[in-house]
Structures are given as structure tokens and as C-alpha cells.
Amino acid sequence: MKLLFLTCLLAVFPVVSMKSPIFGPQEVSSVEGGSASITCYYPATSVNRHTRKYWCRQGAKGRCTTLISSEGYISKDYEGRAKLTNFPENSTFVVNIGHLTQNDSGRYKCGLGISSRGLNFDVSLEVGQGPGVGDDTEVYIADLGGTVTINCPFKSENSEKRKSVCKKTGQLCVLVTDSSGYVNPNYSNRTDIDIDGTSQVTFSFIIKRIQLSDAGIYVCQAGDDSSNDKHNVDLQVLKPEPELLYGDLRGSVTFDCALGSEVADVSKFLCRMSKGEDCDVVINTLGKKSKDFEGRILLTPRSQGFFSVHITGLRKEDAGYYLCGAHSDGQPHEGSPTQIWQLFVNEETTMPQSPSVVKGVVGGSVAVLCPYNPKETDSLKYWCRWEDTQNGRCQQLVESEGLVNEQYEGRLALYKEPGNGTYTVLLNQLTNEDAGFYWCLTSGDTRWRSTVELKIVEGKREPSLKAPKNVTAWVGETFKLPCHFPCKYYSYEKYWCKWSNKGCKTLPTQDDGPSQAFVNCDQKSQIISLTLSPVAKEDEGWYWCGVKEGHRYGETMAVYVAVEERVRGKSLRARPTQVRAAPGEEVESSVRKTENKVIQDPRLSVEDRPVKDTGDLAGESRASVDTDSSAGQGRSSKVLVSTLVPLGLVLALGAVVVGVLRARHRKNVDRISVRSYRTDISMSDFENSREFGANDNMGASQVTQETSLGGKDEFSATTGNTMETEEPKKPKRSSKEEADMAYTAFLLQTNNMAADIQGAPSEA
């Protein structure tokens, strides 16, 4: 039965030629005294909206005589009963005809321009006999798939006799059903005779799930075949007029299905009628979806048996006939409630061409162009992700008024550029999980909705732009953030921007010349840097570097900048490095380690040192070093002066002390060994040593020297080698050694004082 039902529908609806962009109903049926409404669609262009619309009747020789037009013309035959109305906002015009007669049956055209050579569409109008009694025959009109109840009168004297209904086929009248319970196989489970509850002079004959083959003449009868108690009925089955749906190539359409409250809790479906005998399910509420519509279809259940099916990214092969229906298994069945649709796809579309697939790499980015009606510049723009749920679902990710899904913060933005019917969506920090289908939506014309598929390319490919992913900046300091651009973007505009829910605000940048981050790249590569000076707490957040060409955006790279304040003795992000001289370490090496570091005033103890609420005061008695930061390059001249002046005074005082100690040493030294003190002595010491050398050459065996510090150093020499001396058995400290120790202690103290100057106020 299911195959028979679908076969009948396919026979009723022949294939529509899509060569003309004008679209309307192929066949229209009505009855005498009734009316007909014909809707014709045309491409949404400015010329079409203002050009002439017409309705004409085709003659025997192919000539089409205009009956009514949008310019005010109306034929005498249509005066007072016809009207043509243009709806330019919907790109349609409607022809309404009333008081129909059978003479109105024929072939017509609805079109634009001149009747003889304009754009048009063929329409067949069929007007049947109206309901009522004529020539002893009562006329009933029923819809295909519907139910009809036929009342059969009879004489009271036949009230107890057999009741029956037969259908005329040529000269015969084939029995359909009777009061004894017989039912013709062609009407099995579809027909019945109702006698209970009726008067003694009428019974009811009911036909359900009416088919086209049910049309014809029926005879109601009371009594046997010889009885004259008969009543003739003419049942006319109206061919269903499908709901018309007009869509543009790459655009979208919505099927608004209304099946009634009696199927509110029954599974719903939308199927597409094929050239065979099947109606292939496109989507149903049980989770089934056709592969041909993956990523571009949604089913939305509504109340009272209503539901909507939305299809985007229309293709020319989507055109054809569809059925909305309801059944427990989500499949079309004979007798189940259905609604017929005819979809026309206009290939002469005004929809802008945009890629249906975009590709990206892990860690990289994509830029998606989304179309919208150019007349709706102020409409809200959205971007959502299609999910393969039971009915399909599109989760909103971003909108033009600033809302961004929490999971996409810092990596998704919507721009109204380039404008004039197109907006841009940027998504970066791509992962494999981002692959899928996405929809471009607006709050305006739903026909402009579109679908794009995002594919993540596997392999060793990397993002073209190079920048650190996460960095730390310090409050009050200067921070520089570079982004490396390859040669292929040499002619593009480069930019840095700070991301927020409302987009990404462009910031000033500077060109730092060619980049060395790319292999086999010439000097056309660039480093574009963003500088924050001084850094403030509100500077924390996401920053993007990217490229654009005019108003068209390209690749982007996201960096998160964390902003921290340096605290006393340590930092929140880095362990402080202590600059102190280890025992026995060269002081010069220790001093070199203090270069470019912040020095504290040794005169202020930890307890007495004043604290200022600025980010320029660092730790208690040590310098905090961040080798990954460029903070030292941004010191102000005021801080530099306050650091170097105290250091210079301390070094000058140290030089005076050393000079005094050396003077005392030269005054009190009587003898010295050149071998033992060949380093760190003055030229005057060499002159005094000549006398001691002469005595040694004369064979003196032992010399005793008393130092100014009261100690004794013993040296021994041999006559065999006057330039060598024996190592002292028990060396004692001389004034020279004590002087060196004092000098070393002084430099160590100087280094410690240098480490303390960082905590002092900047105003020396």
C-alpha cells in the first residue's frame, strides 16, 4: 500500500523543468463556483521587482493572450473576479480568480516582461463540476489522502433490507461494501457503512485515505439488485496542490509543516520523493539524517503537531517534491498525515559565491566569509556550530553584539567587514576537535543562511605566523611582544589587536625588520612588535597578531599576556636571583654580575626602609632578575641617576681607604722577597728589593723581616740558586697580606651594598 500511495503521488507530480527562473504551481484544481490562487516566484533583482507581471491564456497556435497584468490591464472576461498583486519584498506575485466555471479550464502562463518573449512558467487550471445535485447525481469533492462521508437516502419501507454501495466501471457496477460486512479488496480497511445512529431514511458510506482511483460514480442502494431505491453519487478527488518553496542556489529554505494536534506526540519526518517508488527520509525526530544533507539540516519540533525543517547550502539537486509526515517509526506510510511540498532552486542566484569548505592546521587559524542580505546591514550576525544530535542542533558561538561562548574566549571574533553583504568570522588556536560544520546566520532574511565545513589538515604543517603562546609582563615596566610574518605576507597589512567580547581593537605597532624565524625566506619577512609602556594591570588578556588585505582578514595568531606585580623579596612568576660574591671569588667577576641590575641603598635596613606603592621598588636586600623580560631596557633616567650616584661615592671612598693602606705598607716594609711578592706590589717595592737581593748573592743564609703589623716572615736562601727561596715552614701574615684581605673585604662589602640599593626610594 505504501508503494502504491507513493506511486500515485509521483504520477500526479511530474518532474519540473528548472530552465526558467520563474516558478509556480504546475497544476491547479478547483470546482465550479469556487476560486483559485496562483503564486508565481521570480528572482529577487531590482529589475524583476519593477518590471511588468502578467497572467495569460495559451491559444491553439501557442499565442498567449494577456488576461490581467500588474500595469492595470484586465480583460472583460476577468472583470470583477480576478486580481494580480505584486509582493516585491518576497519576490512573488499572486493571481486570484473567483467564480470559476468549467470554461476556465486550460493552459496558462505567469511571467515577467512581454507575454510573447518574457520569462514565464506554465500552469494548468482544471475546473470540475461543483458539489450538489445535478441530473439526479450528487457531487462530492474530496482531497487526496483525506476522508469523505457520503449520505445515502432510501425509502422507509426498505429500512430493514440490505444496504449496499457499488462503483460503476463501464457498464458494470462493482460492489464496494454492504451491510452484511463485505468489503472489496481495493477498499480494505478504508471503507465502512454506518447505519447505527442514522434515521430510518439515510445511511452513511465512508471512505478513508482517499486515492486518485477512488474518483468516479457510486450507487447507493436499499434492497436487492432489482430494487429501484437507488441514489447516484459523483466523487471527485482533487489533486493535492503542493506548498511551493522557492530557494536560491547556496541559499536556504524552511519547510513549515502543519499536521494537526492529533499527531503532536507522534514521530515526525521529512522525506524526498525520488523518481522510483520511494520517499527517502531526509530527517526525522528519531535521529535519522540523510548523508546528502549532513551538516546543513535542522528539525525543530513545535507545539500542536507543527514542526520546521531548515536546509542551508542549497544545491540544484535538492529541487523536487517533499513530504512532511508523522508516523511512529518516522517513515511514510499509507494513510498517515502528510503535507506535500515542491522545492524550486533558482540557479540564477544573487547569493555571493563563498567557499563551502575551509581548511586549517592545528594551532593555526581560519577566516570564514558569511553572506547576508545587503539591505539588512544593521541586522544581528551570528555564527553557530552544527551538532549531529537527534534533530540536529546549532550551538551559538558568537554574535555581532559581543556575546562569545565561554569555551571560545580569546580565539573567536566576528567582524562586520568587509560589509556590503558579507561579514567575517575569525577562529584561531585550532584543534582537531574544531573540525565540523558551522552556520552563518542573521536576525533578518533567513534565505541568506549558509553552511561552511571546517577541515583540519593532518601532517607536519604549522601556522605561518610565529609568536609566543603565553608571556608575562610586569606592572610599571615596558613590555615588547614580537610577531614574525613570513615572506608571503610581505604586501599584506600587519596588525596587533587586543581581543575582547566586542571584537579585537587594533593597537599601534612598530616594524623591527626582517625575521630569522623562517627557513629559505628572504628579507621580505618581517617582525612586527607591540609595545606596552608602562604595563598596567588592565593590559592583561589576549592579543592577536594578524594580516589583512583591504577589509578582508587573513591568518591570525593569539598570545595571552599575564600581568603581575613584583612583590618584596620575590616575584609572583620568577624566583629572584641573588647577586653576592662567594668567599674566595674574584670581586671583579662579582661586580660584572651586577651589571644592568637594580641596586639598593645599603644605608637602609629591612626594617627602616620606606615602602612606596609603586612597581619600581623590588625586594628587601636582593635584586630580582627576569632574564626573559626586557624590563631593564626601559628604566627611566631618574632611576638610573639615583642608582649610579651612590655607587660612585662608595667606590671613591673605597679608593681612598686602599690608598691609605698601601701608603702605610710602603712606609713600614724593610725587606721583601721578589719571589713571594712578584704581583700586587708597587715600583718602589722593586727598588728596595735590590738591596735584599745583593745580600742574598753574598751568601746570607737567613733573613728576618718584621712587618708593621708586628708579625714575622722567615725566608731562607742558598748560595747555589740566589733567585729561589725555600717555602716558609710556618708562614705568618705580613702587612701586605692583611692589606689584601682588607681590600677584598671592602669589595665584598661594596657588592653587598650594591645589592641593597634596589629597595631605596627612587628619589636619591
pLDDT in tens, 225-253: 778 888 999 998 887 788 899 998 999 99
- What is the rounded CA–CA span in Å between residue 667 and residue 298? 104
pLDDT of 616 > 90? The answer is no
CB-facing half-sphere around the CA of 333: CA atoms within 13 A: 10
- Weakest mean pLDDT among 41-50, 169-178, 269-278, 616-625: 616-625
Which residues make beta-bridge pairs with 557? 545
Are the CB atoms for 68 and 84 separated by under 8 Å? yes
- Residue 728 grid cell: 716558609
Residues 6+ apart with CB under 8 A from 110: 22, 24, 38, 40, 53, 54, 55, 93, 95, 120, 121, 123
Highest mean pLDDT among 190-194, 222-226, 335-339: 190-194
Q: Is the peptide bond before 418 cis (omega within 30 degrees of 0)?
A: yes
pLDDT of 54 > 90? The answer is yes
pLDDT in tens, 517-570: 655 565 678 899 999 999 999 999 999 999 999 989 999 999 999 999 988 655
CB atoms within 10 A of CB 289: 20
Closest CA to 341 of 256, 405, 425: 256
% of the chain beyond a pLDDT of 70? 70
Instruction: Say how many Å lie between the first and final Cα of the chain, rounded.
Output: 102
Positive or negative: CA dihedral 112, 116, 119, 125: positive
DSSP 212: G
Phi, psi of 339 (to 5 degrees): -135, 130
Mean pLDDT of 710-719: 35
pLDDT in tens, 651-667: 777 776 667 666 665 55
Let me know if 380 is exposed, middle or buried by CB neighbors in 10 A (0-12, 13-18, 19+): middle
Highest mean pLDDT among 518-522, 720-724, 760-764: 518-522
Residues 6+ apart with CB under 8 A from 385: 394, 395, 397, 436, 437, 438, 439
Three-state secondary-structure class, residue 470: strand
Amino acid symbol at 77: D
Longest Cα–Cα distance of the chain, Å, equals 177
pLDDT of 717 > 60? The answer is no
Three-state secondary-structure class, residue 151: strand
Three-state secondary-structure class, residue 493: strand
- Residue 187 grid cell: 477498499
Determine the pLDDT at residue 399. 93
- Residue 100 grid cell: 470559476
- What is the rounded CA–CA span in Å between residue 654 and residue 241? 108
Order the strands of the 470-474 sheet from edge to edge.
Answer: 470-474, 552-564, 541-549, 493-500, 503-507
Chain Cα centroid distance, residue 197: 65
- What is the rounded CA–CA span in Å between residue 42 and residue 49? 8
Determine the pLDDT at residue 689. 39
